Chain A
Amino acid sequence: MKEERQKMKKSAVLIRLLPYLLQHRLLFVLCILLTIGGNLLGLAGPYFSGLAIDAIEPHRKAVDFSGVWRYAGIMAALYLLSAILSYLLTRLMVVISRRVVKQMREDVFSKLTELPVGYFDQNQTGDILSRISYDIDTINTSLSHDMVQIFASIVTVLGALAMMIAISPMLVLVFAFTVPLSVFLTKKITGFTRPLFRRRSAKLGELNGFVEEMISGQKTLRAYSQEENTVKKFDRQNDETVEAYYRADYYGSTTGPSVNFVNNLSLSLVSFLGAVLYLKHAISIGNISSFVLYSRKFSGPINEIANIIGELQSAFSAAERVFRLLDEAPETKDADGAAELNHAEGTVDLQDVHFGYLPGQEIIHDLSLHVPKGALVAIVGPTGAGKTTIVNLLMRFYDIDSGSITLDEKSIYDLTRRSLRLNYSMVLQDTWLFQGSVYDNVAYGSESATKEDVERVCRACSIHDYILSLPEGYDTVLNDDGANISKGQKQLMTIARAMLLPASLLILDEATSNVDTRTELQIQQAMRALMKDKTCFVIAHRLSTIRNADEILVVKDGEVVESGTHDSLMQENTFYKQLYNAQFA
């Protein structure tokens, strides 16, 4: 995973976060109102308690019990109301934050479905998982809650400021010094910690990637007794991760105490200045006292905001990682006016195709071939010759560097990807099953398939009996990439899946490599039916399985070195003949 270290501006991150909140702006405003309402009720409480205490006031000789009870009753009612308000507020916040998170996860996932295949070849799954879980959670923890806090605090701050100015504009001057000092300190600290928080998120992503890779490959590591070594490697990664967390915390956790310090400093200054003003008879003791009270109300929220800004650091770096993923270039858009090609005839042409996964490392050189409709083309050759790459190009998982590929004489780049791909059905060597019932896995891609259809193809693939032997037959849920099913059985299921698809072209990339030959024979008829009337591309090592191909392409080092039927290739002293005879050596 190569994360570009190029920084995203904080304001840019914020601007992109806002829409998520603004989507719920009505609820958001409601939240702020509730917060303010709750605060006001909280203030009303002391007012009534004051009245209640007045009712006890002894200089009336006797305690006014009815008054005490009345005010105490009102207090209780107010507090109840306040509690209800604050409960509603929390519920509302949960609604907002959950909606925001859900939306973000959905956006990230949608993005993942749009990304080209290459993205998944280059990025560790664990890191992707870390973005959709940890990073989004981190954003959420601070974002929604803190935003409301900040907005609600602003009201209090302004109110307190007004009162302070009313009491003594001179004393407010103290804050003209200390508030900018707080702002300056917060800015300095956050500026300093930002790269640290960025690193912290990145490290956690790396750790996830590592854990994913190691736990998935555990069987192998065990075979070579590498448990201890892996733990050691993990420790290194782990140490870096917790250290990155610590570094961020180390500086990040200074924000709170620092701002607090500035507040205390301003209190001291107020008392100095207050004393001076008192000596000049410019202020009364009572006024100094209430000024201090208000200044507490004033600096409290500022303190809070500073803390929140500190917390937001981690949210920002998490958000940056999420947005970076959202900014990944998706599969290029279908060309303007791209045509839908449904039910293609199945004529495929490649003309002077050049391609490499990385710039400068060409794998396919100048490949040309013509495949007529309904033909069976076998692609053979030594390993690493680029056979699977041809599949990647036909299906447009990767785009060619130069040359042209056409389907029914239309450039595949002028077709919608969707329609192009739906014309193919494909069975790959790397079987893919997901957690779901056997039935769902086989019917994947063919929504209209009935239970009978599914059973029919499974019978044809000689896997019906096996499926029935499973605890719940076709409803058995396959777990964890079908861990306890043999690879051959998985392949048979994916072949059954392909049989349900009404495509006119077929790609079999080592489709039966893990199926034993006897089963392969049993399903031959079904395979023939599957291949009937379809243009087929078959990649296989078992050369016996492709003897009846219309055209055999022998690929070596990214070029077609020989082509012809089995018989014609076997007549001369060809590379194919060597390959073919080698299997009986």
Chain B
Amino acid sequence: MKRLLVFLRPFIPRMSFGFIIKVFGTLVELAIPWILSYIIDDLIPLGKMQPVLVWGGLMILCSLLAWLGNIIANRMASAVARDFTGKLRHELFRKISFLSERSVDQLTIPSLISRVTSDTYVLHQTVGMMQRLGVRAPIMLVGGIIVTLTLDPVLTLVMVATLPVVAAITFFVSRRGARLFQQVQNASDDMLRVVRENAAGVRVIKALSKSGYERKRFRRVNDELTRRERTAENTMALINPAMSFLLNLGIAAVIVAGAYRVQAGTTQVGKIIAFMNLFTIVLNALMAINRMFTMFSKAAASSSRILEVLDTPVELFETEPHFSFLPEHAPHIAFKDVTFRYDRGSFALRHLNFTLERGETLGIIGATGAGKSTVIRAIMRYYDIKEGAIEIDGVDIRDYATADLRKKFGVVFQNDTLFKDTVRENIRLGRDISEEQLTAAARRAQAYDFIMSQGGFDTPVAIKGANFSGGQKQRMLIARALAGNPEILILDDSSSALDYKTDARLREELRIHYPHTTKIIIAQRISSIMHAEKILVMDQGNAAAFGSHKELMENCPLYREIGESQMGARAVT
């Protein structure tokens, strides 16, 4: 919580200015009842209208000033809250954008989403409220106590004797509250996750008529969330009554102590009466402060969730390249004894070795879960490998700036994303790409014709590309990968929804137009990769075989089996 205050620092001047206005507004407002009592007690009995008119006019003036002051201060507070939240959300989203895949796996996507949205929202409210309520109450509290001190310091001490207890209770309860509210937020993540899953799996759920089951599943997380919310709120509910009881106990003690002091002649009854009146002010102020404490507990919970993200180290990100010249005659891509495993799970890559020259095509084939996609994640540095080295142009990929490294690639992932935008923007994806490049990429990806028949590059793409068929989506994604004329093109099983004819044409286009692009193609169909110079057959993270189609058909029983099953005798060509 405290650490997030750093974000408030730039606003201190504005906040102070707003604070001053608010103090002014509050003081002016406090003058009103004082003037009123002056009019009633002193002026009206005089029986003259004129002073009443003057002071009454002054009262209206004060009301006006208070009105203006409070509105201005409120608006300034809102502006600060707006700028604070804008900045915080920006930093948080930015941080998430640069988090490593490993951290994203750990924090989980749904939780990250709710941290950017609902947690920052809680802070927004807090910052606004803090400025609006945070002035009046402390002024009343401190002012009230000062006035009682001038009346009778001893009785004041009696009155505030319970304050330490009140403070202790408030402190412990709200600290516990902060923990509980964090659990609330986590339970809320779970609830949202179920809703998210239902949105994603609506077809399966409807097909299996499992809506009832899903409702039950939702009820479970909803119950849990409700339970947590209740626990948190019930805990916080303790503060207010405890505080008001203890303070009232204090005032009863003042009466008793006052009685003894009156007896002893050290104080007067009038002072005790004045005490009673001031006490009401103090109590109300404390109640308002207490409301802020509840807010703070929530804010503290959200803060720690936000800080958790902000504190996650960005393990892979580097800005400065670590080399000055490229070694000559190095292969374009080299895997040297690469070993990797995910945090949860078995080895994904074991002692993988291969090299690719510029312009060559590598086909990767292998059983489901053999580690094919992991090769991609490793070479693009989504995950850092544990052992061995991956080199591009003879330089370890860890020595490139990440942005420079990624710039070399055009990639289509296995379940890649189209965004809610136009076709053009989905292919450009924010890069500086000319209209010619765009058209060329679309043509070569076999996407141009259907894009034109559906209304051209400015056709909107719906959420997740829902208005295009599976094959059309893949071709737009391939166009995206080609549009940047990449040094290395990666297609991870991304022609699975293409019919053979289209797939064949695509391969032909790649061969003709991208001779210097090194291509890595993961596929299930042998026909998609059989023309590659090099083919890597993977089996449980190992390289089972490496070579050309012809060599593999001769030497690799596994490959031969796949080949023959798919293409019969024609495979042997």
Binding-face segment, A3-11, A211-219, A365-373: A211-219
Contact B39 A275 (CB under 8 A): yes
Partner of A133, one of B188, B203, B496: B188
CB atoms of B230 and A257 under 8 A apart: no
Q: A481, B368: Cβ atoms under 8 Å? A: no
Contact, CB under 8 Å: B124 / A484? no
Per DSSP, chain A at the interface is helix
Q: Specify which chain B residues have a CB less than 8 angstroms from the CB of A102 in the assembled complex.
A: 222-223, 226
Instruction: Check A86–B244 contact: CB distance below 8 A.
Output: yes
**Which residues from chain A contact B450 at a C-beta distance below 8 Å?**
384
Q: List 9 A-B contacts (CB under 8 A).
A: A72-B255, A83-B241, A105-B222, A231-B97, A250-B75, A466-B369, A481-B197, A489-B368, A584-B570
In the complex, B168 has a CB within 8 A of chain A: no
Chain B CB within 8 A of A573 CB: no
B171 at the interface (CB under 8 A from A): no
Q: For residue A95, which residues in chain B have a CB less than 8 angstroms away from its CB?
A: 230
- Would you call A481 and B345 a contact (CB within 8 A)? no
A129 adjacent to B196 (CB under 8 Å): yes
B326 on interface, CB distance cutoff 8 Å: no
Q: In this complex, what residue of A is CB-closest to B49?
A: A275
Which chain A positions have C-beta within 8 A of B214?
A: 113
Which of A65, A98, A225, A243 gathers the greatest number of chain B CB atoms within 10 Å? A225
Tell me which of A168-176, A450-458, A511-519, A560-568 binds B: A511-519
Task: Judge whether A230 and B430 touch: CB under 8 Å.
Answer: yes
Contacts of B223 in A (CB 8 A): 102
Question: Cβ of A514 and Cβ of B368 under 8 Å apart?
Answer: yes
B471 touches A383 (CB 8 A): yes
A147 at the B interface (CB under 8 A):
no
Tell me if A39 counts as interface (CB < 8 A to partner B). Answer: no
**Inside 8 A of B466's CB, which chain A residues have their CB?**
121-122
Q: Using a Cβ cutoff of 8 Å, how many contacts connect chains A and B? A: 500
Which residues from B are CB-within-8-Å of A387? 469
Within 507-535 of A, Cβ neighbours of B (below 8 Å) are at 510, 513-519, 521
Segment of A12-20, A148-156, A404-412, A416-424 engaged in the interface with chain B: A416-424
Cβ contacts under 8 Å, B116 to chain A: 211, 215
Task: Indicate which residue in B79, B245, B524 contacts A83 across the interface (CB closer than 8 Å).
Answer: B245
Tell whether, in the assembled complex, residue B263 and residue A63 are in contact, meaning their CB atoms are under 8 Å apart: yes
What distance in Å separates the Cβ of B285 from its nearest Cβ neighbour in chain A? Answer: 16
Cβ–Cβ < 8 Å partners of A362 in chain B: none
Give the shortest distance, in Å, between A218 (CB) and chain B (any CB): 7
Chain A residues with CB under 8 Å of B97's CB are 218, 221-222, 227, 230-231
In chain B, positions 522-568 with a C-beta closer than 8 Å to chain A are 524-527, 558, 561-562, 565-567
Within 8 Å of chain A (Cβ to Cβ): is B109? yes
* A-chain residues with CB within 8 Å of residue B258 when the two chains form the complex: 56
Contact yes or no, B430 A224, CB < 8 A: yes
> Contact at B416–A357, with CB atoms within 8 Å?
no
| Chain B neighbourhood of A72, CB < 8 A | 252-253, 255-256
For the complex with contacts A56-B272, A253-B78, A432-B201, 6 further pairs of A-B residues with Cβ separation under 8 Å are: A87-B237, A218-B97, A264-B62, A264-B67, A417-B209, A489-B369
Q: Is B86 close to A, CB under 8 A?
A: yes
Contact for A268 among B60, B366, B413, CB less than 8 A: B60
Nearest Cβ on chain B to A495's Cβ, whole angstroms: 11
User: Are A260's CB and B558's CB within 8 A?
Assistant: no
A395 to chain B, nearest CB (A): 6
Q: Is the CB of B248 within 8 A of A76?
A: yes
The dominant DSSP class at the B interface is: helix
Closest residue to B268 on the A side, CB-wise?
A: A58
Do the beta carbons of B252 and A383 come within 8 Å of each other? no
Taking a contact as CB atoms closer than 8 A, the residue among A238, A422, A432, A514 that contacts B493 in the complex is: A514
Task: Specify the chain A residue showing the minimal Cβ separation from B69.
Answer: A257
| B20 is an interface residue with CB less than 8 A from chain A | no
A90 at the interface (CB under 8 A from B): yes
| A35 interface residue per 8 A CB criterion | no
CA distance A105 to B198 in the complex (A): 14
The answer to whether the Cβ of A449 comes within 8 Å of any Cβ in the partner chain is no
B90 touches A583 (CB 8 A): no
Partner of A208, one of B113, B191, B238, B369: B113
Mask, A35-57, CB within 8 Å of B = 1, is 00000000001100100110111
Q: Which residues of B have CB within 8 Å of A448?
A: none
Instruction: Report chain B residues within 8 Å CB of A192.
Output: none
CB pair A79 B249 closer than 8 Å = yes
A125 touches B199 (CB 8 A): yes
- B90 touching A234, Cβ below 8 Å: yes
Cα separation A203 to B248 with both chains bound (whole Å) = 46
- Assuming the A-B contacts A62-B263, A75-B248, are A517 and B566 also in contact, with contact meaning beta carbons closer than 8 angstroms in the complex? yes
Q: Evaluate whether A272 and B245 lie within 8 angstroms (CB atoms) in the complex, with A121-B466, A223-B406 already known.
A: no
Is A267 at the interface (CB under 8 A from chain B)?
Answer: yes
Residue B128 lies at the interface, judged by CB distance under 8 Å to chain A: yes
Question: In the complex, what distance in Å separates the CA atom of A271 from the CA atom of B197?
Answer: 65
Most buried by B among A76, A469, A485: A76
Which residues in window 228-265 of B have CB below 8 A to A?
Answer: 229-230, 233-234, 237-238, 240-242, 244-245, 248-249, 251-253, 255-256, 258-260, 262-263
Contact partners of B39 in chain A: CB under 8 A: 271, 275
A191 interfacial by beta-carbon distance below 8 Å? no
Known pairs A207-B117, A271-B36; A117 contacts B504 (CB<8 A): no
Q: Are A267 and B562 in contact (CB under 8 A)?
A: no
Contact B470 A510 (CB under 8 A): yes
> Could you say which residues of chain A place their CB within 8 Å of the CB of B303?
none
* B469 partner, pick from A257, A383, A484, beta carbons under 8 A: A383
In the assembled complex, the CB of A212 is this many whole angstroms from the nearest CB of chain B, namely 5
User: Is the beta-carbon distance between B60 and A90 smaller than 8 angstroms?
Assistant: no
B3 within 8 A of A: no
B219 and chain A: residue at smallest CB distance? A106
Do B463 and A121 touch across chains, with their CB atoms under 8 A apart?
A: yes
A516-B82 contact in complex given A128-B199, A480-B105, A481-B200, C-beta closer than 8 Å: no
Instruction: Fill in one digit per residue for A121-151: 1 if any B CB lies within 8 Å of its CB, else 0.
Output: 1111110111011100100000000000000
- Of all chain A residues, the one with the shortest Cβ separation from B189 is A133
